[in-house]
Structure formats: structure tokens, C-alpha cells
Amino acid sequence: MSSPIIPDDELHVTYILASGPGGQNVNKVATAAQLRFDARNSPTLPGRVKHRLIEVAGSRMTADGVIVLTARRFRSQIRNREDAVARLQDMIAQASTVQAYRVPTRPSRTQRRKRLDNKQHRSRIKQGRSGRYTD
């Protein structure tokens, strides 16, 4: 299943001052992009993806169901906005994938026997080492 494309009108981007290198420019220009996406009330996302997005987003989702991503990797607003949108798309794509159902299995009788034989073999090897090299 392909991940849904989020329209721009559902994304709210604000620009904040970025920390890090940049000299005096870092104190004057708001280049870091803070993206907010209301995942809980989004008409674009199916219910299953919304539910899974809660797990994927983790601490980046507020109690109101809004995902907040801050991008400050680049020195321009445009590139930071693109970075934040790309990270959101990756998160949604991860939530869109259907997890494989794991059928619990038990080891066969032969496998259990081999494991116990191997443990016995190792035990004998280690018992043979004791007392051999006394000073």
C-alpha cells in the first residue's frame, strides 16, 4: 500500500531561530522550520494509518494528536521545510506498511535433542579442562 500524499493546507509551518553555528546570522534569521500536522483530525489519512502513526510518532506527537517536527539541519528556510515534510512523509509511509503476522512456533523434538546434546558436549569439554594444569 502506498502512503497517502498530504496536501499543503493540512501542514502548518512556522520558522524559529535555529541554534548552532552561523555566527551573528543565527541570532537574526529564523531558519529552523517547525512543522505541525494534525494527524488525529486529518481527512487524508485512513483510520488504520492514524492509529499506527501514534506508535510511530512517539514523543513527537502531542496529546491532541498533532505531530510536531523541527528541522534545523540546513541554513535556509526552504530546505528545512522540505526536510521536515520529507520526514513526515517517511513517518506516514512507515505507518502505512502492514506488519507481517507472526505465527508462534515451537522447536521440534530433533532441534531440542540437538541443543541438549550440544550442551552436554560443551559441558564435557569444560569438565576436561579442570585440574589438568595445576601449578
Are residues 10 and 44 in contact, defined by beta-carbon separation less than 8 angstroms? yes
Give residue 114's pLDDT: 97
Q: Which residue has the cell 494528536?
A: 65
Query: How far apart, in Å, are the Cα atoms of 37 and each of 21, 57, 60, 127, 128?
Result: 28, 11, 11, 64, 66
**Helix residue ranges, H only, the chain:** 25-28, 47-57, 77-96, 109-129
Q: Which residue has the cell 498533532?
A: 66
Q: Does domain 8-96 have CATH number 3.40.1170.10?
A: no
Q: Which residue has the cell 507481517?
A: 100
* pTM exceeding 0.85: no
**Which cell numbers hold the place of 10?**
493540512
Domain borders along the chain are: 8-96
Give residue 2's pLDDT: 65
Flag residues of the chain having pLDDT under 50. none
Are residues 35 and 12 in contact, defined by beta-carbon separation less than 8 angstroms? yes
How do residues 3-19 score in pLDDT, each as one tens digit? 777 778 888 888 888 77
Are residues 9 and 36 in contact, defined by beta-carbon separation less than 8 angstroms? no
Give residue 23's pLDDT: 66
Give residue 111's pLDDT: 96
Closest CA to 31 of 60, 66, 70, 61: 70
